[in-house]
A and B are shown apart, each in its own frame.
Chain A
Amino acid sequence: MSELRWNPLLGEWVVTATHRQDRTFHPPPDYCPLCPTRPGKMETEIPFPDFEIAVFENKFPSFQRHPPRPAVRGTKLTPVRPARGACEVVVYSPRHDTTLAQEPVAKIERLIRVWRDRYQELSRRPEIQYVLIFENKGEVIGVTLSHPHGQIYAFDYIPPIPARELQQMRGHWSSHHACLLCAQLASERRQGRRVVYENAACTAVIPFYARYPYETHLLPRRHLGSLLELTDHEIQLWAQALQRVLTGFDRLFNFSFPYMMLLHQSPCDGRSHPYFHFHIEFLPPYRSATRLKYLAGCESGAGTFINDTLAEEKAAELRQAIGSAGA
């Protein structure tokens, strides 16, 4: 069963997807569904003995191209509709025991090209209005398969957080005749204290308004709406930047650092969004080597984050970790 139920109190859709309760949960390595299929062994999601990067439609999708009819009837106050869209799994490597941070820059560059292809293909579907490419990494994030992979959700509406970003960017564009994130990037680069890494194509910062201690944003140096606008050279530089930031995360406390990685690209709703500025956000849940940042009462009840740390101090730590990882 999978359907969208309208929450009139917050004005947003909730996905009800009960079949996901039965999804594969921390299988032993020999039964990993994301590994290549080995001769004589269980057939996995990828029925080949080897591959470079594989993408497949999720076996337990929240959104589908042809979703089932809702199992319940909605009301005028609480409409219900099919959960239309797409859910894909992006398997980064045939190796079970690696992470994106451990992959060579050339491999990350190839992954960026796959992200572009998926974004382009899904964006072309008439019903799709927004494509979210993301990675959940680490058990504390809720990952159920440890094999290195990311996911793609394609929505037939613009979800609340991208919609809010769009509204803010559109407002700034209207009132200042300039891009909001271009202004933010210029300010961060001018001050420099929160910049953790930079090359000719992008800048990584723990932003002034970070919600998580090590929240890191990767921003293109020039104004662009999606990965599709990157040149070949810029793709290489983005791959370098991703690797440096990710290895820096792992160096912070000398363990494989969990995070959510979220690609914020322009909506594909058929409208022009010239004010939208592409960026990647990393939301790592750790606030120290042993302590997690929880979304507790104030965050969940009021929608207001409390960050117990200073972005400037955390940026100095991460900058040093990135520097030592690259040395």
Chain B
Amino acid sequence: MKKRAIAALIPAPNTVLRRQDLTKPDGRKLFLYTFAETKSAPSTPAASPRKS
């Protein structure tokens, strides 16, 4: 319930971004990002309000 507003805005999962989640010895998180080119069709934006 609390997070509904954001969740509604999240588009389809991105297929070109990869994330490796690691934990350092002191417990801190480390995220390594890699990218793969895809030929997928462009995503469409989530509906958002427009008043002007």
A contact set with B: CB distance below 8 Å: 45-48, 51-57, 59, 110, 113-114, 116-117, 120, 123-124, 126, 173, 177-179, 182-183, 186, 222-226, 228-234, 266, 268, 270-275
Contacts and interface: CB of A to CB of B under 8 A. Distances in A.
Q: Which 5 A-B pairs have the closest CB atoms?
A: A270-B2, A274-B49, A178-B52, A182-B52, A57-B28
A56 B4 contact: no
Nearest to B38: A232
B9 A229 contact: yes
8 contacts: A57-B30, A113-B35, A114-B17, A222-B50, A224-B48, A228-B9, A229-B45, A272-B5
B48 A56 contact: no
B45 A230 contact: yes
Contact of A53 (B3, B7, B33, B45): B33
Nearest to B26: A59
* Contact-size category for B: 20 to 34
Interface string B34-50: 11000000111110111
B42 A52 contact: no
Given A117-B17, A178-B51, A231 B32 contact: no
A54 B14 CA distance: 18
Contacts of A51: 32
A177 B52 CA distance: 8
A120 B17 CA distance: 13
Contacts of B49: 223, 274-275
A182 B50 CA distance: 9
A173 B45 contact: no
Contacts of A57: 28-30
Given A53-B33, A270-B5, 5 more contacts: A54-B32, A54-B33, A57-B29, A182-B52, A233-B42
Nearest to A183: B52
A268 B10 contact: no
A56 B24 contact: yes
